Structure 1
């Protein structure tokens, strides 16, 4: 396993990490979740990603039980939670990024995950109803209390992250260390355009999600069959419509042809491409089957195959590279 610094911080995270969105406490059994975490940890994965909103809190409960039963040394892994969407019981102060919810959600996540502190704590979305100043202060309070070690954002705009950094500087607080954006061969603008100044000037780290575009870039949907996949989960109709887009499917089919020429699975080609970006600190893998995870954890082995020629071929197929302004 390769380890990368989380942006300019001193924290090192495995280049490949394991996430629990849509799987833990929902799509897979607790036994499978336990097996997946064991496989990942044994392969050198040290970062496990979670959130209060995943399976309405159940995902964290499942992960917490596994962490407790496995008895791994606390220093050997990094665990995250995210605050915004709340858990099962919604209410006026049970969602969002108010000081009240940020602090209460952190305490609740610690209980569910059965840990004394969170390594990473993310603001899962921007909250238009709460001043960013209030959220930055709340995060700083949790840092001072030792309940979290680093805080960051997920799916915030560059200007919102800049505002948070500005607030932190103004009051001598600790600003955001990392962002968790979606990044894959179909979704590139934030990582390759909008955040460039944040990477250059502030050393923002990234823990990217959906590197396979919800499975589209794994090749499993090019036949149009979605049986027994996350696209058939209740409430995931929006995801199904986004993934099974005719133009995207055609690109995935062409990319599959290139992967076949290289004699590697499409999933590994897509994951390795994400890791090629020096601003990616870690790629979060989702998995519902042990064989699938074992396969994807060997992605670093195909790195040498991504030559300039292959990368050019990928660009010609995808046509998704953001156009940057020329000065």
Structure 2
């Protein structure tokens, strides 16, 4: 793996600079144990990555887990001699079983709990993970801004919000003199393209939000791992294989064919091409992709420097139309 990247990007107007690939921490404490997670994090940084994305709720859905496992593992990794200043950490609030929703007091308490688990003095990018209709948005906006004022958070992001609610957040923030969000995390990839038409891309462009799509590889489908339905139940298939296999229709196979053609032309893995397509879309700062072992990392890291031609981007876009 290369020790250098060919490009850098900045998270909105935060001044926080990153390599244009985020390592998803959702697998830490779920399909990757502590030792494997440490190895993945070390290899990611050695390969030129520096941006790690997690959430306080990861991975409470796993039997025996209570939430916060991913943050805890990342915190232990940081505390074991890694360079905190060399890594940008993003986490989120609203899904931890003990800290659900976005009431102001909950946002404050959840952030402090995340800081303890991460064993750090600041969260680089803090997301409102899911909109909370029960919490007055004015209170949520003020709570996030207060965390920035306190130095506990460097920058604010929103995830899984509608375009209208994001616009409302900005209106409240401007009227109240609060810190503005700089990042947006939506569901977006080559086979999930609602982001382009539901108003989110428009508001991201209007407000100069750095976009970090999740499920960038469509649960592994866009890595080319699932060509037949039987692949989802084969030994060693991931916990998300069934979701990936759902894309195995005529459109999905057309996308795989287009990915195969571009991958062959570049001598690159299919996953690298899918991530490069996403990275080169308007408003996208970096795709988020997870690796449950070090063997999956080279294909992700290769996307840092893979540049697709306009014709290749057009072919892939047309295949998934």
Is this contact kept in 1: 2:163–2:198, CA < 8 A? no
From 62, 65, 77, the equivalent of 2:87 is: 77
Give the secondary-structure state (helix, strand or coil) at the position aligned to 2:257.
Answer: helix
Give the secondary-structure state (helix, strand or coil) at the position aligned to 2:68.
Answer: helix
Q: What's the Cα RMSD here?
A: 2.0
TM-score, with structure 1 as normaliser: 0.87
Give a deviation string over 1:145-187, Cα, whole Å, max 9, x none. 1111111111111111110100011111112111111221112
Match of 1:325 in 2: none
Match of 1:64 in 2: 75
From 9, 12, 27, the equivalent of 1:4 is: 9
The 5 A counterparts of 1:291-302 are 291-302=295-306
Give the secondary-structure state (helix, strand or coil) at the position aligned to 2:306.
Answer: helix
**Cα separation, 1, equivalents of 2:33 and 2:205:** 42
**Cα separation, 1, equivalents of 2:274 and 2:244:** 20
**Cα separation, 1, equivalents of 2:122 and 2:79:** 14
Match of 1:99 in 2: 104
**Cα separation, 2, equivalents of 1:139 and 1:256:** 40
**Cα separation, 1, equivalents of 2:140 and 2:168:** 11
**Cα separation, 2, equivalents of 1:280 and 1:232:** 24
Q: Report the alpha carbon displacement of residue 255 of structure 1 after superposing the two structures with TM.
A: 2.8
Match of 1:264 in 2: 268
Is this contact kept in 1: 2:24–2:290, CA < 8 A? yes
Match of 1:213 in 2: 218
Give the secondary-structure state (helix, strand or coil) at the position aligned to 1:133.
Answer: helix
Give the secondary-structure state (helix, strand or coil) at the position aligned to 1:151.
Answer: strand
The 5 A counterparts of 1:284-295 are 284-295=288-299
Match of 1:184 in 2: 189
The 5 A counterparts of 1:270-281 are 270-281=274-285
Relative distance call for 1:256 and 1:80 in structure 2 (3 A) is closer
In structure 1, runs of 5+ residues without a counterpart are 320-327
From 300, 314, 317, the equivalent of 1:315 is: 317
Q: Report the alpha carbon displacement of residue 294 of structure 1 after superposing the two structures with TM.
A: 2.0
TM-score, with structure 2 as normaliser: 0.88
Is this contact kept in 2: 1:39–1:294, CA < 8 A? no
Give the secondary-structure state (helix, strand or coil) at the position aligned to 1:302.
Answer: coil
Q: Report the alpha carbon displacement of residue 201 of structure 1 after superposing the two structures with TM.
A: 2.8
Is this contact kept in 1: 2:93–2:129, CA < 8 A? yes
Relative distance call for 1:240 and 1:254 in structure 2 (3 A) is closer
Match of 2:58 in 1: 54
In structure 2, runs of 5+ residues without a counterpart are 60-66
Give the secondary-structure state (helix, strand or coil) at the position aligned to 1:128.
Answer: coil
Moved more, 309-318 or 205-214: 309-318
